[in-house]
């Protein structure tokens, strides 16, 4: 039977490894629409090498993040020539609707897509997305998830997300401005055990922006998973990583936690509304190490206010805190962020139109489109490369 809609996740040509994570966004939409009786086809152009020749439906939805916009718009142009009806969704569509319309999309979804797609197919008039606990599990049968390759502590792993949105307000973040929602611990545990039973996974990346917002919820999960054979990775803010929180993470089987450190300079953190301090970041690394959990520090070079001295402070922080791994990106003012909307307020200059906006990418191919009061784009890239070459464990360099 011909599908009612084809959902596409575009290529991410800047990534070193494209097939690590199944695209949960279109998998959630697929599950929801199938629950309502639609036939859905899903394609992952980057991770699985699917092509537009495989599109079967007359209506096509494309999920777009800003770094993927060139890939998404190229797909859209080809499909428009075939007379397809095109729907844009994802963060870039939410923040840059006019650009999507200019590139041939017939409809642009702002925010989460379930209710909007529901209306487009005339099932009901309500525009309210269901509570997060009532959403069906992502459709892990719409794509061959075993072809994605991620390993945690030597085990094949897959991805799970237990929340939507983020309650914080960092200046450089391009989150969709929607209500923050987190599943109940019981809902998340039920999905974990379901995926374990059906697909055989005992290792998961918990892909929430920050996983430990609720201490009560984390404790329930730790109690349920202690002495079970699971391994996890997740992301968390450093100010949440207290000794007791790290203890609960250890009990549930946490292998590695990625922390958005961003900078080793309190001046930079304050200017960019991170709401954290360098002291908290150092304490978080110490607490993780105490409980046998590996730390991965995410750092950004070129945030508003960046200078030669603040880069030196970041170097000093790495040497002092000694995270187990680092990932260093260049700052890109992404659409939807306060910096993108108010560059003069933050003292930065940047080029957007027609330029790549890859905050992470392949070594040697980074491009910075931003300049601070003191650092040029070229200096930002050189500092990024230097930090990674100096401090990333040699066995993890590619």
Higher pLDDT, 247 or 337: 247
Location of each CATH 3.40.50.280 domain in the chain = 5-133
Q: Is 257 helix (H, G, I), strand (E, B) or coil?
A: strand
Q: Which residues contact 239 (CB under 8 A, 6 or more apart)?
A: 275, 276, 280, 284
Q: What is the tens place of the pLDDT at every residue in 103-156?
A: 999 999 988 888 788 788 765 555 567 889 999 999 999 999 999 999 999 999
DSSP secondary structure string, 3-47? -SEEEEE---TT-S-SSSS--HHHHHHHHHHHHTT--EEEEETTT
How far out from the chain centre does Cα 301 lie? 19
Would you state the pLDDT for residue 176?
66
218, 236 contact by CB (below 8 A)? no
* Token reading at 234: 């997740």
Q: What is the tens place of the pLDDT at every residue in 200-212?
A: 999 999 999 889 9
Q: What is the tens place of the pLDDT at every residue in 233-271?
A: 999 999 999 999 999 999 999 999 999 999 999 999 999
* Token reading at 183: 């599943």
Asked if the model's pLDDT at residue 351 lies above 90, the reply is no
* Beta pairing partners, 350: 370
Report whether CATH 3.20.20.70 matches the domain 150-396.
yes
Would you state the pLDDT for residue 115?
78
Q: Give the pairing of strands 5-9 and 107-108.
A: unpaired
Would you state the pLDDT for residue 110?
87
Would you state the pLDDT for residue 397?
58
CATH architecture of 5-133: 3-Layer(aba) Sandwich (3.40)
Higher pLDDT, 129 or 221: 221
Would you state the pLDDT for residue 271?
93
Cα–Cα distance for residue pair 162/345, rounded to 1 Å: 35
Asked if the model's pLDDT at residue 34 lies above 90, the reply is yes
Location of each CATH 3.20.20.70 domain in the chain = 150-396
32, 114 contact by CB (below 8 A)? yes
Higher pLDDT, 101 or 180: 101
Closest alpha carbon to 16 in 149, 105, 171, 124: 149
Mean pLDDT of the chain: 92
Cα–Cα distance for residue pair 103/212, rounded to 1 Å: 39
Asked if the model's pLDDT at residue 168 lies above 90, the reply is no
Q: Is 254 helix (H, G, I), strand (E, B) or coil?
A: strand
Asked if the model's pLDDT at residue 358 lies above 80, the reply is no
Compute the residue count for the chain.
398
Least confident window among 76-90, 222-236, 255-269, 353-367: 353-367
Least confident window among 114-128, 245-259, 274-288, 321-335: 114-128
Helix axes 243-252, 215-225, angle to 10 degrees: 30
Half-sphere exposure of 148 (CA within 13 A, CB side): 24
Cα–Cα distance for residue pair 293/270, rounded to 1 Å: 28
pLDDT > 90 in the chain, percent: 75
DSSP secondary structure string, 113-175? SHHHHHHHTTS-S--PPPPGGGSPPP-TTTTTGGGS--EETTEE-EEE--EES-S---TT---
* Average pLDDT, integer, range 345-362: 76
Per-residue confidence band for 366, with pLDDT thresholds at 50, 70 and 90: confident
Would you state the pLDDT for residue 177?
62
Cα–Cα distance for residue pair 80/93, rounded to 1 Å: 17
Please report, for the chain, how many H helices and E strands are present, in that order.
14, 17
């Amino acid at each position: 039977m011909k599908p009612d809609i084809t959902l596409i996740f575009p290529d991410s040509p800047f990534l070193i490894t494209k097939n690590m994570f199944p695209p949960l966004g279109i998998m959630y939409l697929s599950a929801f629409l199938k629950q309502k009786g639609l036939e859905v086809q899903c394609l992952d152009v980057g991770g699985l090498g699917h092509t537009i020749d495989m599109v079967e439906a007359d209506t096509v939805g494309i999920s777009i993040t800003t770094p993927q916009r060139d890939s998404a718009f190229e797909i859209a142009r080809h499909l428009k020539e075939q007379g397809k009806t095109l729907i844009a969704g994802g963060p870039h569509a939410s923040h840059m609707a006019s650009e999507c319309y200019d590139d041939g999309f017939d409809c642009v979804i702002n925010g989460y897509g379930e209710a909007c797609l529901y209306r487009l197919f005339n099932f009901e008039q309500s525009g309210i997305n269901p509570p997060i606990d009532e959403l069906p599990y992502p459709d892990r049968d719409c794509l061959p998830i075993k072809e994605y390759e991620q390993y945690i502590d030597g085990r094949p792993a897959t991805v799970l997300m237990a929340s939507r949105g983020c309650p914080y307000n960092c200046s450089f973040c391009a989150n969709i401005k929607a209500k923050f929602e987190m599943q109940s611990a019981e809902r998340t545990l039920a999905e974990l055990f379901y995926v374990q039973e059906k697909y055989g996974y005992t290792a998961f990346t918990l892909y929430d922006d920050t996983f430990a917002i609720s201490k009560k919820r984390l404790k329930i999960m730790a109690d349920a998973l202690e002495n079970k054979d699971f391994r996890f990775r997740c992301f968390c803010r450093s100010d949440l990583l207290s000794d007791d929180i790290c203890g609960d993470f250890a009990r549930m089987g946490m292998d590695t936690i990625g922390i958005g450190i961003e900078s080793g300079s309190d001046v930079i953190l304050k200017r960019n509304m991170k709401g954290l301090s360098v002291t908290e970041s150092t304490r978080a690394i110490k607490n993780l190490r105490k409980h046998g959990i590996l730390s991965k520090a995410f750092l950004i070079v070129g945030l508003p206010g960046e200078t030669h001295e603040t880069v030196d402070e970041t170097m000093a922080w790495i040497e002092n805190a000694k995270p187990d791994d680092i990932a260093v990106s260049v700052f890109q003012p992404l659409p939807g962020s306060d910096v993108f909307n108010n560059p003069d307020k933050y003292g930065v200059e940047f080029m957007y139109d027609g330029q790549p906006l890859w905050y992470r990418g392949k070594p040697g191919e980074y491009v910075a489109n931003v300049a601070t009061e003191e650092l040029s784009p070229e200096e930002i890239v050189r500092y990024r490369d230097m930090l990674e070459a100096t401090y990333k464990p040699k066995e993890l360099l590619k």
